[in-house]
């Protein structure tokens, strides 16, 4: 029986790329999975763990003969990786990614390829943990999680169908939207929360009473700041890549925070309660949507 993908090359076999490889191996839909990355020790580990079948350190070598290439590298590395693999890509290759910002990846692709390849189908799995590396990967990471695909008007229908099927075999729900809308939505729902968590922990860590503050931190603090344990370089790249939309939502949030500060200064009980009550209703509704 023919496989969905004969040879999948994953450049960046960490949590995200490794978890997809594990899921696709369980589903038995790939003939071969080739890994690529800068750390050969990690790549050997990925082979030993059964995450990939073989590896190549040279990206151009890794993509030779691949019908699907997945870029799971930091956003700041996207353009360089595209440049290195361009000469070795098959003419009908499907090229996709997992980046948390999409417009910047499109800009990189235009800079490298000129005319965008018809097999380019960018994507973003809305899944992850604060851990990183291939040892942190697991096959069920994408179960019942959304994956956003941002096809272009000129995207090849077969390429889009293959990428969508790949993620569905990993257990994900696939949705589509434009790259621009993706960046707007994710700036508010993902990038802003990470900025707030990082900033809060950094601010408190620089206070004189740091040891006491963290000693008495309760569950709420742990829950809110968990994502500040995520890869700092990765989130640095994401924030810079999507800085326009992130600055917009930061400006909106800053205005609301200033309004709450004014309410606290003036002991405006009604305004404070209204803010908290609206937030509780919205959060309760959001929780029900997740449960469904």
What confidence score (pLDDT) does residue 222 get?
83
pLDDT of amino acid 207: 82
Q: Which CATH superfamily is domain 5-177 in?
A: NAD(P)-binding Rossmann-like Domain (3.40.50.720)
Q: Where are the domains of the chain?
A: 5-177, 182-291
Name the CATH topology of 182-291: 6-phosphogluconate dehydrogenase C-terminal fold (1.10.3660)
Q: Give pTM, 2 decimals.
A: 0.88
DSSP code string of the chain: ---SEEEEEEE--SHHHHHHHHHHHHHT-EEEEEEE-S-HHHHHHHHHTTS-SEEESSHHHHHTT-SEEEE-S-GGGHHHHHHHHGGGS-TT-EEEE--S-SHHHHHHHHHHHSSPPTTB--EEE----S--SGGG--TTTTTT-EEEE---TT--HHHHHHHHHHHHHTTPEEEE--HHHHHHHHIIIIIHHHHHHHHHHHHHHTSTTHHHHHHT--HHHHHHHGGGGS-HHHHHHHHHHTHHHHHHHHHHHHHHHHHHHHHHHTT-HHHHHHHHHHHHHHHHHHHHHHH-
pLDDT one digit per residue (tens) for the chain, 292 residues: 689 999 999 999 999 999 999 999 999 999 999 999 999 999 999 999 999 999 999 999 999 999 999 999 999 999 999 999 999 999 999 999 999 999 999 999 999 999 999 999 999 999 988 788 999 999 999 999 999 999 998 889 999 999 999 999 999 999 999 999 999 999 999 999 999 999 999 998 888 766 677 777 777 888 888 889 888 998 999 999 999 999 999 999 999 999 999 999 999 999 999 999 999 999 888 876 664 4
């Amino acid at each position: 029986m023919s496989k969905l993908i004969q040879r999948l090359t994953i450049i960046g076999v960490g949590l995200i790329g490794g978890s997809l490889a594990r899921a696709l191996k369980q589903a038995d839909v790939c003939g071969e999975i080739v890994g690529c990355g800068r750390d050969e020790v990690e790549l050997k580990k990925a082979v030993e763990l059964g995450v990939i079948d073989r590896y190549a350190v040279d990206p151009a070598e890794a993509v030779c003969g691949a019908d699907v290439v997945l870029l799971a590298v930091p956003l700041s590395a996207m353009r360089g990786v595209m440049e290195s693999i361009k000469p070795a890509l098959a003419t009908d290759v499907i090229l996709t990614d997992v980046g948390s910002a999409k417009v910047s990846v499109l800009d990189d692709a235009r800079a490298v390829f000129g005319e965008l390849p018809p097999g380019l189908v960018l994507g973003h799995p809305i899944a992850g943990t604060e851990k990183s590396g291939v040892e942190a990967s697991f096959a069920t990471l994408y179960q019942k999680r959304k994956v956003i695909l941002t096809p272009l008007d000129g995207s090849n229908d077969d390429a889009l169908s293959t990428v969508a099927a790949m993620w569905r075999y990993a257990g994900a729900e696939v949705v589509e939207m434009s790259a621009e809308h993706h960046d707007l939505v994710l700036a508010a729902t993902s990038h802003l929360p990470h900025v707030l968590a990082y900033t809060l922990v950094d601010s408190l860590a620089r206070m004189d009473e740091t040891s006491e503050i963290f000693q008495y931190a309760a569950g709420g603090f742990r829950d809110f700041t968990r994502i500040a344990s995520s890869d700092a370089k990765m989130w640095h790249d994401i924030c810079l890549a999507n800085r326009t939309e992130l600055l917009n939502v930061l400006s909106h949030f800053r205005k609301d925070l200033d309004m709450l500060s004014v309410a606290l200064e003036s002991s405006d009980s009604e305004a404070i309660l209204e803010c908290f009550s609206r937030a509780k209703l919205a959060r309760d509704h959001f929780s029900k949507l997740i449960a469904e």
